[in-house]
Structure 1
Amino acid sequence: MAPVPAIVDRQTWLRERAALLAREKAHTREHSAIAAARRRLPMTEVDASVRMVGEHGPTRVLDMFEGRDQLLVYKHMWHLDRPFEDQCRGCTAAVWNFHDATYLHARGVTFAVWCEGPYEQFAPFRDFMGYTHPWYSRHGVHSAGLTEENGICVYLRVEDRVFQTYETDGRGCEVMMPALQMLDMTVYGRQEDWEDSPAGWPQDPIQSWFRRDGRPIPQWTRPGATPVGQ
């Protein structure tokens, strides 16, 4: 049996919870302050005429905005010529956790995925996963501010010009994975070995919540997913 937290009376628990709540509120205020600073970043122009192959053929970056003013892009890694089960577990988790861009659209933001792989390779994967977001191939495309970094990038359209306003990678992409923030609320957390947890808390050094039985875990929800090798 895994260790459990100390057991205390209700009043003691309420005092401890109140102390943590003060820290949580400070964290929320700092989060808002960082977002305010992000809105004050300068921007840099990118080539709006660059084309990437999507569902409707070669598409200009300018047209990916779909008439909206902002474009938020997740840049998906791709392992060339590998089967679905061998594709990036982190990218799979991130995009799977964000199925619906309705609220982004309501604020004038289009969401799209730019994938490293050729369109003909990832299009069947997109269909298999049931994704409805537009996907475009950045395979073979080289343009500063558009294709060299992975993670999340944000662009602003000003008439026929396009500017990059923000980028993040690594744990910055966790914004797309609310399941992680929900796990952070639980007593055992994400159960990853880098976390600061009490001695004996369950931890998983191989991060099996990303991948299990030969596939990224979200793939097991899809019709036709079978054990690897069968």
Structure 2
Amino acid sequence: MTTHATGTREQWLTARLALLETEKALTRRGDELARQRQALPWVRVDKHYRFDTESGSATLPDLFDGRAQLLVYHFMFGPDYKAGCPSCSSIADSFNGFFIHLANHDVTLTAVSRASIDKLQAYKRRMGWSFPWASSRYSDFNFDFNVSFTETQQRAGDVEYNYQRGHHAMDAEPAPAPVKQFADTCGTDAKTYARDRPGLSAFVLEDGVVYHTYSTYARGLDALWGMYPWLDRAPLGRNETGVWWKRHDEYAQR
């Protein structure tokens, strides 16, 4: 027998209408937050970055692919990984469905990682993805946008991630269990795994000049994690006691 509160349809409707007011207030707050994001000052990007893509070498303006706006998902796939991060992979599973819609709204979505383009393309095939994915292996792009770090920075506690500098949870000794677990699934050790981090950065191209407009990291990416809005509406919510998700081709068939 359930231990959760039960009631009549009328009681449920009364409670649901009260909750609806709270949901509407959150929606309005979200709208205002989006306006504040868009009001941030733009920062001109003059540095030249080189990327490898499936079409060949590309610059940052090239990644816009003829559009005015560019959204970059900083996908955790370091040069020494053998597979992409499981968390980033679960986020990226939703990209196939909407990157074409963004492309037809003057926005290019691409993932960027430090792994070689050959590794990225092989992993795309494994995952069945078709969205653009570029390698920044031979540029400072990941380091300049604070999603990759050197071994020296990591050892010295000089990592600046999510707008905080110092030692971060991912760099703890011993490595947190989820970090060790994910590192193992990526075919690398925890320290190497933690030298790349997830994030999203936004850019605009205006009059031939690229501007950086926004970046977010860590839990700032929650809204992109497609399964969680669904779980937040499921009867038992997220119902988590630890890491439960895997790459989509690693689940047992049910």
TM over 0.5: yes
Q: 1:107 Cα deviation (Å)?
A: 1.6
What is the 5 A alignment of 1:77-96?
77-84=76-83, 87-96=84-93
More helix by share: 2
CA distance, structure 1, for counterparts of residue 107 and residue 49 of structure 2:
20
> 1:157: which partner in 2?
205
Give the secondary-structure state (helix, strand or coil) at the position aligned to 1:152.
Answer: strand
What is the 5 A alignment of 1:62-73?
62-73=61-72
Q: TM-score, normalised by structure 2?
A: 0.73
CA distance, structure 2, for counterparts of residue 145 and residue 22 of structure 1:
43
- Residues 1:106 and 1:4: Cα distance change in structure 2 (over 3 Å): farther
> 1:98: which partner in 2?
95
Specify which of 117, 120, 125 is matched with residue 119 of structure 1.
Answer: 117
> 2:159: which partner in 1?
none
Q: Letter of the 2:242 partner, please give it.
A: I
Give a deviation string over 1:155-212, Cα, whole Å, max 9, x none: 00012210111111112222322221011011211112xxxxxxxxxxxx2221x12x
Q: 1:79 Cα deviation (Å)?
A: 4.4
- Larger mean CA deviation between 8-17 and 145-154 belongs to 145-154
What is the 5 A alignment of 1:1-230?
3-47=2-46, 49-84=48-83, 87-100=84-97, 101-143=99-141, 147-149=145-147, 150-192=198-240, 205-208=241-244, 210-211=245-246, 216=247, 218-220=248-250
Q: 1:120 Cα deviation (Å)?
A: 2.2
Give the secondary-structure state (helix, strand or coil) at the position aligned to 2:222.
Answer: helix
Q: Letter of the 1:219 partner, please give it.
A: D
Q: 1:146 Cα deviation (Å)?
A: 5.4
Please list every run of 5 or more consecutive structure 2 residues that lacks an aligned counterpart in the other structure.
148-197
Give the secondary-structure state (helix, strand or coil) at the position aligned to 2:57.
Answer: strand
Give the secondary-structure state (helix, strand or coil) at the position aligned to 1:164.
Answer: strand
CA distance, structure 2, for counterparts of residue 109 and residue 145 of structure 1:
24
Please list every run of 5 or more consecutive structure 1 residues that lacks an aligned counterpart in the other structure.
193-204
Give the secondary-structure state (helix, strand or coil) at the position aligned to 1:181.
Answer: helix
Q: Letter of the 2:120 partner, please give it.
A: F
**Contact between 1:115 and 1:136, CA under 8 Å: does it hold in 2?**
yes
CA distance, structure 2, for counterparts of residue 177 and residue 94 of structure 1:
5
**Contact between 1:116 and 1:137, CA under 8 Å: does it hold in 2?**
yes
**Contact between 1:70 and 1:108, CA under 8 Å: does it hold in 2?**
yes
**Contact between 2:74 and 2:112, CA under 8 Å: does it hold in 1?**
yes
**Contact between 2:96 and 2:130, CA under 8 Å: does it hold in 1?**
yes
Moved over 3 A (4+): 79-84, 143-147
Give the secondary-structure state (helix, strand or coil) at the position aligned to 1:66.
Answer: coil
CA distance, structure 2, for counterparts of residue 206 and residue 116 of structure 1:
28
- Residues 1:145 and 1:118: Cα distance change in structure 2 (over 3 Å): closer
- Residues 1:108 and 1:63: Cα distance change in structure 2 (over 3 Å): same
Residue-pair matches, total: 202
**Contact between 1:54 and 1:135, CA under 8 Å: does it hold in 2?**
yes
Give a deviation string over 1:83-133, Cα, whole Å, max 9, x none: 43xx31110001012213122122200010101212222221111112111
- Larger mean CA deviation between 48-57 and 33-42 belongs to 48-57
CA RMSD after TM alignment: 2.3
- Larger mean CA deviation between 68-77 and 178-187 belongs to 178-187
